[in-house]
Amino acid sequence: MARHVGKKSQYIQAMVPGQPVEDLFLLASANQAQSRNGPYWNITFQDATGTIDGKIWNPKSQEYPALEAGLVARVTGFVESYRDRNQLRVDHMDILEPGDPAVDLSDFLPASCVPPEDLMEAVEDLVTEHMKHGPWKKFCKKVLEDEDVRSRLLTAPGAKTVHHAYVGGLLEHTLQVARACMALCDVYPALDRQTLLAGAIFHDLGKAWELTGGPANDYTDEGRLFGHIQLGLEKLEPFLKRSKALEDGLKMHFKHLIASHHGEYEFGSPALPKTPEAYILHFADNMDAKLNIIDQAYADMAQTGQDWSPYMRYLERNVFRPAHTPDKSKKNNDKPENQCLLPLKV
């Protein structure tokens, strides 16, 4: 297997027919087929901007007895048009070793528009700002500074599909849910702001073990067997036991927030929300997931100029892009296009 060091420079979204290609791509799928001229490979290549179908024809195809999804390859070839769609004809391909340090997964996988390190810093800023009870602040920092927890959070997607299903998606979702909860505490000042913030920050922690992340982003064995709510509670329990100063009543309420944040039994919640804070967390979590789905639909609609989305199964409706009220403080008052709308400071 060949090794390549260098930054990716050619992206699928910008490719045009006749363009020569020499760059790194992820193999999203690979299967062998048979033609009159012998065996060939059907490959779907992927980078952070999209996918393109590719072909390795006989006899070149016989140089690759085994290919599989998830590999990264340095591909040499050119773009051609087939049935009005771009297709990558492969002249040569070198497979990189798994874990090659030259590979930056953000080049090949959809990612948050904000770097995960910045998202993590914003989450930690919320702890500094709102956690006034020493045991809560210490508990949150201990979990977030744990080497295994931190490394997983920095790369974890927020879901397999549907919402926040990209690198940094879990941290992005966590930050927005936590911010929403803190904003609602200003509206409803009787809420326990600090327990709610702890629940918001760690409500989906188990997803970092439920999903593999990476190119496949599939469910792990423990993810299939237990689900992220159970996994999250298990990962947090050792930190709770070591936190001797944190009151038992706060620990119990915190665990209830995590156990009930899906809201209803039919949505996989092992418990129903039974405190105001549990209701707030459930609604903030549900709201952010749905708004992310709509944001992704808007990005697709912006590319085609459409105002109505196709029917969206997870929302059980089509969504509409309305006109926005003019804002003289902004240069462009048109409907937002595919751009980063996630502020780091609020």
Least confident of 20-29, 100-109, 118-127: 100-109
The reported pLDDT for the residue numbered 161 is 64
Last residue of a domain, one of 32, 63, 95: 95
| Contact indicator for 87, 110 with CB cutoff of 8 Å | no
* Nearest of 291, 256, 249, 247 to residue 277 by alpha carbon: 256
The highest-confidence range among 185-189, 206-210, 302-306, by mean pLDDT, is 185-189
CA atoms of 105 and 108, how far apart (whole Å): 5
| Contact indicator for 145, 127 with CB cutoff of 8 Å | no
Residues 128 and 36 in one domain: no
Whether 2 shows a pLDDT value over 50: the answer reads no
Last residue of a domain, one of 293, 321, 339: 293
Long-range contact list for 299-306, CB < 8 A, 24+ apart?
299/337, 299/338, 302/335, 302/336, 302/337, 302/338, 303/338
The radius of gyration of the chain from alpha carbons, rounded to an integer in Å, stands at 23
Residues 30 and 120 in one domain: no
CA atoms of 177 and 181, how far apart (whole Å): 6
Residues 115 and 163 in one domain: yes
The reported pLDDT for the residue numbered 4 is 40
Q: What is the pLDDT of residues 264-277, one digit of tens each?
A: 999 889 999 999 99
Q: Where does the pLDDT of residue 343 fall: very low under 50, low under 70, confident under 90, or very high at 90 and above?
A: low
CA atoms of 230 and 44, how far apart (whole Å): 36
Q: Which helix (H) or strand (E) holds 20?
A: strand 20-35
The reported pLDDT for the residue numbered 3 is 38
Q: Are strands 85-95 and 50-56 parallel, antiparallel or unpaired?
A: parallel
Please give the model's pTM, rounded to 2 decimal places: 0.78
The reported pLDDT for the residue numbered 71 is 86
The reported pLDDT for the residue numbered 9 is 82
* 344 within a domain of the structure (yes/no): no
Instruction: Say which amino acid occupies 30.
Output: A
Whether 102 shows a pLDDT value over 80: the answer reads no
How crowded is residue 170: how many other Cβ atoms within 10 Å of its Cβ?
30
Instruction: Say which amino acid occupies 267.
Output: F
The highest-confidence range among 46-55, 208-217, 313-322, by mean pLDDT, is 313-322
* 120 within a domain of the structure (yes/no): yes
Total domain count, the chain:
2
Residues 157 and 29 in one domain: no
Q: What is the CATH number of the domain that holds 71?
A: 2.40.50.140
Q: Where does the pLDDT of residue 23 fall: very low under 50, low under 70, confident under 90, or very high at 90 and above?
A: very high
Q: Tell me, what DSSP letter sits at residue 320?
A: B
Q: What residues contact 86, with CB distance under 8 A and at least 6 apart? A: 12, 15, 16, 17, 52, 79, 80
* 320 within a domain of the structure (yes/no): no
Residues 197 and 69 in one domain: no
Residue 164 lies in domain: 109-293
Percent share of the chain, pLDDT over 70: 89
* 6 within a domain of the structure (yes/no): no
Whether 159 shows a pLDDT value over 80: the answer reads no
Residues 154 and 226 in one domain: yes
Angle between helices 276-304 and 248-260 (to 10 degrees): 40
**Cα 326–chain centre separation:** 32
Q: What is the pLDDT of residues 54-91, one digit of tens each?
A: 999 999 999 999 898 888 899 999 999 988 889 999 99
The reported pLDDT for the residue numbered 156 is 82
* 147 within a domain of the structure (yes/no): yes
CA atoms of 33 and 54, how far apart (whole Å): 13
Q: Would you call the peptide bond into 59 cis, given omega within 30 degrees of 0 as the criterion?
A: yes
Last residue of a domain, one of 95, 125, 150: 95
Average pLDDT over residues 129-154: 96
Residues 83 and 113 in one domain: no
Percent share of the chain, pLDDT over 90: 61
* 339 within a domain of the structure (yes/no): no
* 224 within a domain of the structure (yes/no): yes
Query: For the purposes of burial, counting CB atoms within 10 Å of the CB of 10, is it exposed (0-12), middle (13-18) or buried (19 or more)?
Result: middle
* 241 within a domain of the structure (yes/no): yes
Residues 48 and 166 in one domain: no
Average pLDDT over residues 120-142: 97
Residues 66 and 122 in one domain: no
Residues 82 and 225 in one domain: no
- Our CA angle for 64, 45, 208, nearest 5°, is 105
**Cα 37–chain centre separation:** 42
How crowded is residue 342: how many other Cβ atoms within 10 Å of its Cβ?
14
Q: What is the CATH number of the domain that holds 203?
A: 1.10.3210
Hey, what are 123's tokens? 């989450």
Residue at token pair 């709610």? 196
Cα four-point dihedral sign 164, 105, 300, 175: positive
Mark 294-303 as b/e (b = at least 16 C-beta within 10 Å).
bebbbeebbe
Residues 77 and 143 in one domain: no
Q: What is the pLDDT of residues 204-254, one digit of tens each?
A: 999 999 988 766 667 888 989 999 999 999 999 999 999 999 999 999 999
* Nearest of 129, 39, 45, 50 to residue 299 by alpha carbon: 50
* Mean of pLDDT over the chain: 88
Residues 189 and 286 in one domain: yes
